[in-house]
């Protein structure tokens, strides 16, 4: 069931509608807010839209790096599983 929740990001209030648990929505909003705060402190004064775009790019970069690492790990686990299965078959 969708629920609406108000979150604050860079001092601006947003209403988020989601099926996710409230604690998850708050955690995600906090993550985005922290990333935007970090970029705001690290760069020259910039429009919130520029900070938002740079934050989105940084989060997308993190996501794709983690996705690639995950896929590499899954391939490795599958390879090891096949090797283990083959060795167990040899011993049987």
pLDDT in tens, 9-67: 999 999 999 999 999 999 999 999 999 999 988 877 788 889 999 999 999 999 999 99
The answer to whether the CB of 16 falls within 8 A of the CB of 5 is yes
pLDDT, greater one: 2 or 75: 75
Decide: pTM greater than 0.75: yes
Least Cα distance to 53 among 39, 64, 73 occurs for: 39
- Structural domain containing residue 30: 3-91
User: How many domains, the chain?
Assistant: 1
Query: What's the rounded Cα separation, in Å, for the pair 37 and 18?
Result: 24
Q: Which residues contact 39 (CB under 8 A, 6 or more apart)?
A: 51, 54, 55, 58
pLDDT given at position 44: 76
pLDDT given at position 45: 73
State the DSSP H helix or E strand holding residue 52, giving kind and residue range, or none if neither. Answer: helix 48-91
């Amino acid at each position: 069931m969708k629920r609406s929740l108000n979150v604050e990001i860079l001092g601006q209030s947003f209403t988020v509608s989601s099926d996710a648990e409230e604690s998850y929505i708050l955690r995600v909003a906090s993550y985005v807010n922290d990333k935007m705060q970090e970029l705001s402190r690290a760069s020259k004064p910039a429009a919130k839209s520029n900070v938002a775009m740079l934050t989105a790019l940084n989060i997308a970069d993190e996501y794709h790096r983690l996705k690639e690492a995950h896929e590499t790990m899954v391939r490795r686990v599958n390879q090891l599983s096949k090797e283990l299965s083959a060795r167990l078959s040899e011993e049987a």
